[in-house]
Structure 1
């Protein structure tokens, strides 16, 4: 069982749908401000920073300490990005990440959907799955562990 003192920064890369499932699990319950999301068409990149819950430090424990860490995430080979049911003008609005999924098209192309609590989503039309996550800060303690109804 990992603890906060055993924390090691994560650096992950997703190159296919199975990798994306792992990235999705690591990001579950991350929180971010909508102002921290950016689509950079010239670079064909969609990026955001988030406060990631450190599931790897929580293991199966019910009591803390738990931790969050600032993480940067980006997707490359992005042709377009669409925000659905998210108010992009509300830069300070906080969203909670639920999952990332890949809807395959032809020849490795497709759509990566980033789902958020409350029904919001970001749809990324991509040439391939090409995603990265990097922890950027030391972890800080948090009292609560996200819970989900079965």
Structure 2
């Protein structure tokens, strides 16, 4: 008898996910919701056509386990990378404010011609980052061990 994989089967191993199709993106978008990062941790390498962010993401995949066991919620540092990037535009951000910390609300994709399209990172406070790509390739990779969330709480959203 075979059994479907369960969310909990991931255990404590670091995440390594890739989205190559629009249908793959909602998983990454859900896992990066409420991530926070300094504005200084956004990097666009024009030569390599790569845009990357070092984010501190809430470990949504561990939330129910932490609640059941009565332990603190966790965050982990992750690299969110976009490949085949043509342009990057920001709106509502003061990139010169080196102390600015951003909070990521969601990631969406609007397809264009062929495999191209626009990825949009919506930030709290009406900020946004638009990433135009030749083809969809987004990766999310945990790069540190999980740590106790400074607030010790799960992010909340008004209903």
State if a TM-score over 0.5 links the two structures. yes
Residue 156 of structure 2: aligned partner: 147
| Separation (CA, whole Å) in 2 of partners of 1:21 and 1:91 | 30
| Separation (CA, whole Å) in 1 of partners of 2:16 and 2:99 | 27
Residues 104-123 of structure 1 mapped to structure 2, 5 A cutoff:
104-123=111-130
| Separation (CA, whole Å) in 2 of partners of 1:91 and 1:48 | 15
| Separation (CA, whole Å) in 2 of partners of 1:8 and 1:141 | 16
- The residue matched to 2:125 in structure 1 has which SS? helix
**Larger-Rg structure:** 2
- The residue matched to 1:144 in structure 2 has which SS? coil
Please, which runs of 5 or more residues in structure 1 have no aligned partner? none
Residue 4 of structure 2: aligned partner: none
Please, which runs of 5 or more residues in structure 2 have no aligned partner? 1-6
**Aligned Cα root-mean-square deviation (Å):** 1.6
Q: Could you tell me the TM-score, scaled by structure 2's length?
A: 0.87
Residue 134 of structure 1: aligned partner: 141
Q: Could you tell me the TM-score, scaled by structure 1's length?
A: 0.92
Number of aligned residues: 147
